[in-house]
């Protein structure tokens, strides 16, 4: 079994506040096949996923990079849980900032919304 259920504090991860999320950065973050796939996977049921559970066609360090881009753009929120880093979409906040945007992108990707 992975962990005991406790949420470890871990190191702090920088996230932009909802009001600081810029459209340009979000679009830029979504304009990459790997990241688009991460977002689709997150939207596809699994609310919280560790980086490892995405089977991405890139190396670990490259994954780290893509997750960081998504996080810094404000698309996902990440937190540590043991040695794993969990990710979840910031759907609600994005909906407030840019209504309909995430939904349109997901729909275009063939994800049930």
Residues in touch with DNA (CB under 7 A): 1-4, 6, 8-11, 28, 31-32, 34, 50-52, 58-69, 80, 82-85
Cα–Cα distances in Å, from 53 out to 22, 38, 79? 28, 10, 15
Segment interacting with a second copy (CB under 8 A) among 11-19, 30-38, 54-62, 77-85: 30-38
Residue 72 contacts a second copy per CB under 8 A: no
Residue 72: contacted member of a second copy, DNA, none (CB under 5 to 8 Å, by partner type): none
Classified as helix, coil or strand, 79 is strand
Of 2-10, 11-19, 25-33, 48-56, which segment contacts a second copy by CB under 8 A? 25-33
Do 69 and 36 contact (CB within 8 A), yes or no?
no
User: Are 73 and 28 a contacting pair, CB within 8 Å?
Assistant: yes
């Amino acid at each position: 079994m992975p962990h005991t259920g406790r949420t470890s504090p871990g190191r702090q991860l920088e996230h932009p506040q909802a009001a600081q999320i810029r459209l340009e950065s979000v679009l830029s973050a979504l304009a990459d096949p790997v990241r688009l796939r991460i977002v689709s996977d997150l939207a596809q049921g699994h609310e919280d996923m560790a980086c490892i559970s995405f089977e991405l066609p890139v190396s670990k360090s490259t994954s780290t990079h893509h997750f960081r881009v998504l996080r810094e753009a404000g698309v996902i929120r990440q937190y540590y849980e043991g040695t794993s880093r969990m990710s979840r979409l910031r759907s609600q906040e994005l909906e407030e900032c840019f209504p309909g945007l995430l939904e349109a992108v997901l729909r275009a990707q063939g994800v049930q919304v």
